[in-house]
Amino acid sequence: EDKVVQSPLSLVVHEGDTVTLNCSYEVTNFRSLLWYKQEKKAPTFLFMLTSSGIEKKSGRLSSILDKKELSSILNITATQTGDSAIYLCAGASGAGSYQLTFGKGTKLSVIP
Amino acid sequence: DTGVSQNPRHKITKRGQNVTFRCDPISEHNRLYWYRQTLGQGPEFLTYFQNEAQLEKSRLLSDRFSAERPKGSFSTLEIQRTEQGDSAMYLCASSPWGQGPSANEKLFFGSGTQLSVL
DSSP A48-65: EE-STT--EEETTEEEEE
Which of A34, A43, A97 has the CB atom closest to B48's CB atom? A97
Average pLDDT, chain B: 92
How far apart are the C-alpha atoms of B30 and B73, rounded to whole Å?
8
User: What is the structure's pLDDT at A66?
Assistant: 94
Residue B94 confidence class, pLDDT cut points 50, 70, 90: very high
Report pLDDT digits (tens) over B24-71: 999 989 999 999 999 999 999 999 999 999 998 998 889 999 999 998
Closest CA to A64 of A105, A25, A22, A19: A22
In terms of DSSP bridges, do strands A85-93 and A30-38 run parallel, antiparallel, or are they unpaired?
Answer: antiparallel
User: What is the structure's pLDDT at A78?
Assistant: 98
Closest CA to B86 of B48, B57, B115: B115
Cis, peptide link before residue B43, omega less than 30° from 0: no
Taking CA–CA distances from A34, the nearest residue in chain B reads B106
Cβ pair B107:A100 closer than 8 A = yes
User: What is the structure's pLDDT at A71?
Assistant: 96
Which of B4, B48, B109 has the CB atom closest to A99's CB atom? B48
10-residue mean pLDDT profile of chain A (112 residues): values are 95 98 94 93 91 88 94 98 97 78 97 96
User: What is the structure's pLDDT at B74?
Assistant: 96
pLDDT of B73 strictly over 70: yes
Taking CA–CA distances from A88, the nearest residue in chain B reads B42
Q: Cα-atom radius of gyration of chain A, to the nearest Å?
A: 14
Cα atoms in the Cβ-side hemisphere of radius 13 Å centred on B76:
10
pLDDT of B23 strictly over 90: yes
